[in-house]
């Protein structure tokens, strides 16, 4: 048992009258002790549930991100026309609505804007469809890739994916606690705002509850991030809905020191409609392949709606209207399908690493 870690549990778990928040430095130390398994399983579980009940502060989340930065992987900077877009997507996946983020990532890279995604396999508490299995359905296998391989794929294709079990096994080691405590711990917020890249980037993170957005904004500001976007998207992702108003937060301290709230009504742009329901993974992959061929469908309309917003937000297009026009053109011209084909060719040129011990985490 770690006596030092016991003090962290005692501090946040003493209740509303005597409990206290951790400092940023304490949160970083506590996170490192959990990642390195210096705390016992009982201590880690107690910390996670106490922290969830208390609710994390922005300073605590900043410290937790500090620990992720010290112990986790990062892709090295590449040369590109636009800052890298890092997508903050819940690791436990989707189970109600069809995800659009992979189509958005392919669209952005087809337009010359790099993208980094990260995640793992199906995991608690939702056990929804994961990004890696959708990618596999599209012919791209991100599992058993060394970090060196991912870096090269990212450099050549502008798209990189960090697979948690291989590239950050320390963080993967905390995943089983989610199932054991039956709730998402505050670590689930980190997956939305962690940016495993060493160069200029634009974080676009999803959220469900307004307090999560507030904590994330405070944490990122404390860490010196000057440009990031938060999206109240489908199932906590960064996917804009078509069935309701899209609520977006924009922090761009380079352009405006004040926080900007953007409200997008799909009907104002001709995109009002139902969000496409998620069926089986094979059905989803088939629907995505149809979108890549430019065939008319509700999923194509959702992909254009999201793609236009992301193209504008990333600086590829000067306004939303031109972004929507460009998104439709890139899908219908086959440019996005060609991007997937090129990505497949690049990834297949590297052998899969069957021995996980060959995978570097730094």
Q: Could you report the per-residue pLDDT of 44-77, keeping only the tens digit for each?
A: 999 999 999 999 999 999 999 999 999 999 999 9
Does residue 92 sit in the same domain as residue 49? no
| Number of domains composing the chain | 2
In a domain, 64, yes or no: no
Nearest Cα residue to 192 out of 83, 46, 343, 68: 68
Domain of 149, CATH number, reads 3.40.1030.10
pLDDT at 1: 64
The CA distances from residue 106 to 14, 98, 100, 160, in Å, are 47, 16, 10, 11
pLDDT at 358: 39
pLDDT at 352: 81
Contacts of residue 181, defined as CB under 8 A and 6 or more positions apart, other chains included, come to 45, 48, 49, 52
Structural domain for 49, as ranges: 3-54
Does residue 41 sit in the same domain as residue 102? no
In a domain, 351, yes or no: no
Rounded Cα distance, 66 and 354, in Å:
31
In a domain, 357, yes or no: no
Mean pLDDT, residues 200-218: 96
Tens digit of each residue's pLDDT (9 = 90 or more) over 321-357: 999 999 999 999 999 999 999 999 999 999 887 654 4
Does residue 90 sit in the same domain as residue 17? no
Does residue 44 sit in the same domain as residue 159? no
């Amino acid at each position: 048992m770690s006596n030092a870690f016991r003090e962290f549990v005692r501090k946040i778990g003493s209740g509303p009258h005597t409990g206290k928040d951790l400092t940023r430095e304490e949160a970083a130390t506590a996170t490192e002790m959990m990642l390195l398994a210096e705390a016992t399983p009982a201590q880690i579980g107690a910390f996670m549930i106490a922290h969830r009940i208390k609710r994390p502060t922005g300073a605590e989340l900043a410290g937790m991100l500090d620990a992720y930065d010290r112990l986790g992987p990062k892709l090295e900077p590449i040369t590109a026309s636009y800052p890298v877009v890092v997508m903050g997507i819940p690791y436990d996946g989707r189970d109600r609505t069809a995800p659009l983020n992979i189509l958005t990532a392919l669209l952005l890279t087809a337009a010359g804007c790099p993208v980094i995604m990260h995640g793992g396999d199906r995991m608690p508490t939702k056990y929804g469809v994961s990004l890696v299995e959708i990618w596999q359905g599209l012919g791209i296998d991100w599992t058993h890739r060394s970090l060196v391989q991912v870096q090269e794929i990212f450099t050549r294709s502008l798209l990189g994916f960090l697979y948690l079990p291989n590239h950050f096994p320390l963080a993967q080691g905390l995943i089983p606690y989610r199932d054991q405590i039956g709730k998402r711990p505050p670590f689930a917020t980190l997956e939305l705002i962690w940016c495993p890249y060493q160069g200029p980037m634009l974080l676009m993170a999803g959220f469900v509850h307004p307090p999560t957005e507030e904590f994330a904004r405070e944490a990122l500001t404390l860490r010196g991030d000057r440009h990031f976007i938060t999206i109240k998207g489908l199932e906590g992702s960064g996917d804009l809905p078509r069935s309701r108003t899209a609520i977006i937060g924009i922090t761009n301290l380079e352009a405006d020191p004040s926080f900007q709230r953007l409200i997008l009504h799909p009907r104002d742009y001709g995109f009002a409609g139902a969000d496409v329901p998620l069926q089986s993974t094979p059905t989803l992959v088939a629907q995505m392949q149809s979108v890549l061929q430019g065939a008319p469908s509700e999923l194509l309309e959702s992909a254009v709606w999201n793609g236009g917003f992301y193209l504008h937000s990333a600086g590829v297009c000067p306004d939303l209207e031109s972004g929507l026009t460009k998104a439709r053109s890139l899908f219908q011209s086959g440019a996005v399908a060609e991007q997937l084909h090129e990505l497949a060719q690049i990834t297949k040129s590297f052998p899969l690493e069957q021995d996980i011990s060959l995978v570097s985490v730094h």
